[in-house]
C-alpha cells in the first residue's frame, strides 16, 4: 500500500507563501496530475513530498506512515526532475542503472531493467552516449527511464514530457500510463498542459497561487469547475463567463428564462462551456453577436459577445454562421456553472 496523504502543508520562502495549506489524498495505484500555471507551487509541493524541501508546517504520509522526518532515500519513491538532473558524467546506461546500483542489484537484473526502461522510452540507441550529446527531449526520456527502472511504489514526475514533440509526447503518454497502471504505481504527475492532465489522470488537482482549487476526475473538473479560475484554466476554448442580472430568481436567456441558484444576489456569473449550446431561432434563443466565425473542420468556432461580454462558442461544422451574424443560442441548463461574482466560487444550481 502506497497511498499518499498530504495534510495541510504550508511552505514559505521568507515572507512569500508558496503553498497555503495544501491537502490532497492520492490513493494506492492512482494517477493524479497537479495542474496549474507557472509559479503556482507544483514543484515545491513535489519536492516536499520527496523530502528535498522542508515544509513550514503540515504532514506527508506515505502508506499510512508519516515521512516528514525521513530523508528522501527512505521514502521509497522515484522522481523525474523538471530540469532532468541526468548525471552528465555517466553514460545513459549508467544513468538509468543508477537507482538499481544504489540498491546493489546484480548485473543481470540491472541489465534487464535498464533495457526494459530504455525500450519503453525509445532510448536504446543512446545507451552508450553521454547526456551532453543528447537533445533536451532525449535527456528528459533518460530521466523518466531512470525513475521507471527502479519500479518505484511512488513516482513523482515534474513535467516529464514537456520537451517532446507533440507526436512523441502522445505516444509516451500512452505508454507511461499503461506501464504505471499495470505496475500499480502511485503517481503524481506535474504538468501545465491540460490536455495531458485530462488524458492521463484518474484525478486532477488544479493548483493556483499555492492553493489546490479543485480535485476531481477530468470530466468532473471540466464540467463542474469549482472556481472561476478552474473553468478558465481548463478547456480550449476556456469556459465563458457572462455576468447576468437576476430578476425574481430568474435569469433571462431568450424566451425561456433560466432558474438562478438560490443564494445568488442581484447578479450572478453564468459559466458556459463553449460546446454546451445549440443554435436556436432568435427570439427563442439568447442573442449572440458573432464577430468572427472560424470553420475548423471538425467544428465551427464562433467568437463574439453576449450581453456585450466576450464569448467563444462551438457549433457543429454543419451549421452555417458567418462573421457579423447575430444568432440565437439555446443553453443546456444542466451544463451551466453558476458562479458568485464576489468570490468566484461556484454556487450549486437549483435542481428541479
- Chain residues binding other proteins by CB under 8 A are 50, 52, 71-73, 77-79, 81, 83, 85, 87-89, 98-99, 102-103, 130, 132-133, 146, 150
Task: Count the site residues for Mg ion by CB under 5 A.
Answer: 2
Is 242 within 8 Å of 272 (Cβ atoms)? Answer: yes
Task: Count the site residues for ligand ATP by CB under 6 A.
Answer: 13
Is 144 within 8 Å of 123 (Cβ atoms)? Answer: no
Smallest separation (angstroms) from ligand ATP to the CB of 139: 17
Smallest separation (angstroms) from other proteins to the CB of 90: 8
Coil, helix or strand at residue 186 = strand
> Could you give the string, one character per residue 152-191, with x where binding to ligand ATP holds by CB under 6 A and - elsewhere?
----------------------------------------
Smallest separation (angstroms) from Mg ion to the CB of 47: 9
Residues 6+ apart with CB under 8 A from 350: 259, 260, 261, 262
54 binds ligand ATP (CB under 6 A): no
Is 234 within 8 Å of 217 (Cβ atoms)? Answer: no
Of the pair 83, 125, the CB lying nearest ligand ATP is at 83
Give the footprint of Mg ion on residues 82-141 (CB under 5 A).
82
Q: How far apart are CA 351 and CA 117, in angstroms?
A: 51
350: number of Cβ within 10 Å = 14
- The angle, 0 to 180 degrees and rounded to 10, between the axes of the packed helices 136-149 and 107-120 is 130
Is 207 within 8 Å of 234 (Cβ atoms)? Answer: no
Smallest separation (angstroms) from Mg ion to the CB of 70: 23
Smallest separation (angstroms) from ligand ATP to the CB of 159: 7
For 171, how many CA atoms within 13 A lie in the half-sphere containing its CB? 9
Q: Which long-range contacts (CB under 8 A, 24 or more apart) does 264-267 make?
A: 264/338, 264/340, 264/347, 265/341, 267/243, 267/341
Nearest alpha carbon to residue 147 among 50, 71, 52: 50
Smallest separation (angstroms) from other proteins to the CB of 128: 12
φ/ψ of 113, rounded to 5, equals -70, -40
Of the pair 42, 203, the CB lying nearest Mg ion is at 42
Smallest separation (angstroms) from Mg ion to the CB of 21: 20
Give the footprint of ligand ATP on residues 62-101 (CB under 6 A).
82
43 binds Mg ion (CB under 5 A): yes
254 binds, among ligand ATP, other proteins, Mg ion, none (CB under 5 to 8 A by kind): none
Cα distance between the two ends of the chain: 43
Of the pair 52, 314, the CB lying nearest other proteins is at 52
Q: How far apart are CA 154 and CA 140, in angstroms?
A: 19
Smallest separation (angstroms) from other proteins to the CB of 149: 9
> Could you give the string, one character per residue 7-46, with x where binding to ligand ATP holds by CB under 6 A and - elsewhere?
------x--x-x-----------------x-xxxxxxx--
191 binds Mg ion (CB under 5 A): no
Which residue ranges make up the site for Mg ion (CB under 5 A)? 43, 82
Q: Which residues would be at the binding site for ligand ATP (CB under 6 A)? A: 13, 16, 18, 36, 38-44, 82, 192
Amino acid at each position: 500500500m502506497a497511498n499518499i496523504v498530504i495534510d495541510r502543508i504550508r511552505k514559505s520562502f521568507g515572507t512569500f507563501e508558496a503553498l497555503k495549506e495544501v491537502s490532497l489524498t492520492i490513493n494506492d495505484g492512482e494517477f493524479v496530475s497537479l495542474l496549474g500555471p507557472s509559479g503556482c507551487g507544483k514543484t515545491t509541493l513535489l519536492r516536499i513530498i520527496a523530502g528535498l524541501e522542508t515544509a513550514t508546517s503540515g504532514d506527508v504520509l506515505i502508506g499510512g506512515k508519516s515521512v516528514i522526518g525521513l530523508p528522501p532515500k527512505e521514502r521509497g519513491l522515484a522522481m523525474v526532475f523538471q530540469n532532468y538532473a541526468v548525471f552528465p558524467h555517466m553514460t545513459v546506461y549508467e544513468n538509468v542503472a543508477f537507482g538499481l546500483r544504489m540498491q546493489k542489484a546484480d548485473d543481470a537484473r540491472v541489465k534487464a531493467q535498464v533495457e526494459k526502461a530504455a525500450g519503453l522510452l525509445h532510448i536504446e540507441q543512446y545507451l552508450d552516449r553521454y547526456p551532453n550529446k543528447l537533445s533536451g527531449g532525449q535527456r528528459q526520456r533518460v530521466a523518466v527511464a531512470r525513475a521507471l527502472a527502479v519500479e518505484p511504489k511512488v513516482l513523482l514526475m515534474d513535467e516529464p514530457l514537456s520537451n517532446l514533440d507533440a507526436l512523441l509526447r502522445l505516444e509516451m503518454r500512452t505508454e507511461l500510463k499503461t506501464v504505471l497502471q499495470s505496475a500499480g504505481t502511485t503517481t503524481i504527475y506535474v504538468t501545465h498542459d491540460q490536455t495531458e492532465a485530462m488524458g492521463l489522470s484518474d484525478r486532477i488537482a488544479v493548483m493556483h497561487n499555492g492553493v489546490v482549487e479543485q480535485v476531481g476526475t477530468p470530466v468532473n473538473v471540466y464540467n463542474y469547475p469549482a472556481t472561476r479560475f478552474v473553468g478558465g484554466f481548463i478547456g480550449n476554448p476556456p469556459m465563458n463567463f457572462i455576468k447576468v442580472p437576476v430578476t425574481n430568481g430568474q435569469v433571462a436567456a431568450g424566451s425561456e428564462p433560466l432558474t438562478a441558484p438560490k443564494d445568488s444576489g442581484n447578479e450572478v456569473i453564468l459559466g458556459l462551456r463553449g460546446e454546451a449550446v445549440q443554435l436556436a431561432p432568435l427570439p427563442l434563443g439568447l442573442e449572440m453577436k458573432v464577430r468572427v466565425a472560424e470553420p475548423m473542420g471538425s467544428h465551427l468556432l464562433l467568437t463574439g459577445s453576449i450581453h456585450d461580454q466576450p464569448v467563444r462558442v462551438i457549433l457543429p461544422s454543419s451549421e452555417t454562421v458567418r462573421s457579423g451574424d447575430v444568432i440565437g443560442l439555446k443553453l443546456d441548463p444542466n451544463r451551466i456553472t453558476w458562479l458568485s461574482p464576489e468570490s468566484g466560487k461556484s454556487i450549486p444550481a437549483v435542481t428541479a
